[in-house]
Structure 1
């Protein structure tokens, strides 16, 4: 049995969390009982009992036949409370509105979570050509502007060896390629994702340096078809101003609970 902080892990609790994470990762693809039992290496009868318990409490939902399972509404409510309880997210939200109004493009707030970036807030562009994202989306840190802006705040020896997952032909898939890009990001002061995470989309990412190393970043995403040199210059200028405003107004780590 694994240990966390010197305390033995509770197997039933770990299994419950693993099940919810599996269901959440499947998105709109519901799972069958045997699929879940096989993936988590749990006896079918034990998995059925766990699912029924979570269904009764709203964490898992099932279809009319009782044969398909998906993540339940309680997961949404809990995730929303996470955002509402974070003072920095509350500070950043109106700044995202300001950037969205100034640029007319899609604006994101993301937070580093292990080797991924989780999207905490998004303001969609009103243009016909726009990027589509959502709160709760996760992307490997190496593929996008948000993640690369945050990786550049850390020493290169913390990077895994690779090879890395490719999302497009432009994704950095080797450690050498990624470290070279991170060096350019440090020199430039912000990250650029030129169709590395989504074909046809360019992103500009800016680490929020109220933590050291930074945990949060903001970004602006724009379709290639609408990106001119003049518009790129405007995006960088506005996003730099927004970053400075956020860093000046966000609560310091000493003024809030320091979550680990």
Structure 2
């Protein structure tokens, strides 16, 4: 078992790091299974080592293979572990009923997201019955600079923490440079919430509200609505309801003293 010295002088176990990299790679491919050589090339490891690792993970349910044994994908144990994360997180449990409340009042799609590096991970979703958006599933990730959730959270941080551009454009309306994003974040701070007007998904407007039970905020809630359904009156109501939902969540969130301080 080989090791390398990582951050803070702590040794990183290469075999463990390679296993995590493989699982992340397979998860990122979604419904596109990979072949052995593709995986070996992507991670820069010998074919024989990759094959042995895959066989081990298949036996434990973390990787699956097809009937021919030549295609590989993420296994069901990844789902079970992800579900365990959601079930064990007190913030997710706390926010879910308020998403239900906002969904009942607005009839639109609601999300809870958490900042993870330069992305936002979706932890809970309540879909609108008026329209379906399969893209908004739990576990989905989006670059923080393109959505209401991510921009609400970036606005809680100093602009000096923003990465240098150019940024990825998901739609023609996405911010692609640092100056434009910083200007938008300044408006968000003044307004008190984020607005995403078709920056992440064409045809969808989002309203994001950082949850300030931590400083800086790690979580945010949002409401998404199709452009065709968004009147000035409906927008005003969405903002009013979401402000109230945020206030309710922050009022009942336990202090750091009573919960595990995850990092």
Q: With the length of structure 1 as denominator, give the TM-score of the two structures.
A: 0.98
Indicate the SS of the match to 2:120: strand
Kept in 2, the 8 Å contact 1:130–1:222? The answer is no
Alignment of 1:118-157 (within 5 A): 118-128=121-131, 132-157=135-160
Are 1:43 and 2:46 counterparts? yes
42 and 131 in structure 1: CA distance in 2 versus 1, 3 angstrom threshold? closer
Q: State how far apart, in whole Å, the 2-side matches of 1:94 and 1:142 are.
A: 27
Alignment of 1:24-63 (within 5 A): 24-63=27-66
Q: State how far apart, in whole Å, the 1-side matches of 2:42 and 2:96 are.
A: 38
Indicate the SS of the match to 1:112: strand
Indicate the SS of the match to 1:234: helix
Question: Which residue of 201, 215, 239 maps to 1:212?
Answer: 215
Kept in 2, the 8 Å contact 1:129–1:223? The answer is no
Shift of 1:253: 1.9
Question: Which residue of 83, 88, 91 maps to 1:88?
Answer: 91
Gaps of 5+ in 1: none
Q: State how far apart, in whole Å, the 2-side matches of 1:229 and 1:129 are.
A: 22
Q: State how far apart, in whole Å, the 2-side matches of 1:184 and 1:128 are.
A: 30
Q: Deviations over 1:17-51 (max 9, x none)?
A: 00000000001111110000000001000000000
Indicate the SS of the match to 2:114: strand
Q: With the length of structure 2 as denominator, give the TM-score of the two structures.
A: 0.97
Kept in 2, the 8 Å contact 1:87–1:251? The answer is no
31 and 200 in structure 1: CA distance in 2 versus 1, 3 angstrom threshold? same
Are 1:228 and 2:231 counterparts? yes
RMSD over equivalenced CA pairs, Å: 1.0
Are 1:100 and 2:103 counterparts? yes
Indicate the SS of the match to 2:221: strand
Shift of 1:2: 4.0
Indicate the SS of the match to 1:13: helix
Aligned to 1:12: 15
Question: Which residue of 68, 75, 83 maps to 2:78?
Answer: 75
Gaps of 5+ in 2: none
Kept in 2, the 8 Å contact 1:149–1:217? The answer is yes
Shift of 1:132: 3.9
Q: Deviations over 1:74-97 (max 9, x none)?
A: 000000110111111101000000
Kept in 2, the 8 Å contact 1:115–1:140? The answer is yes
Q: State how far apart, in whole Å, the 1-side matches of 2:174 and 2:86 are.
A: 30
Aligned to 2:261: 258
Are 1:115 and 2:99 counterparts? no
Indicate the SS of the match to 1:5: helix
Q: State how far apart, in whole Å, the 1-side matches of 2:134 and 2:48 are.
A: 43
Detail structure 1 runs of 4+ shifted over 6 Å in the superposition: none
> 1 or 2 for the larger relative contact order (CA 8 Å, sep ≥6)?
1
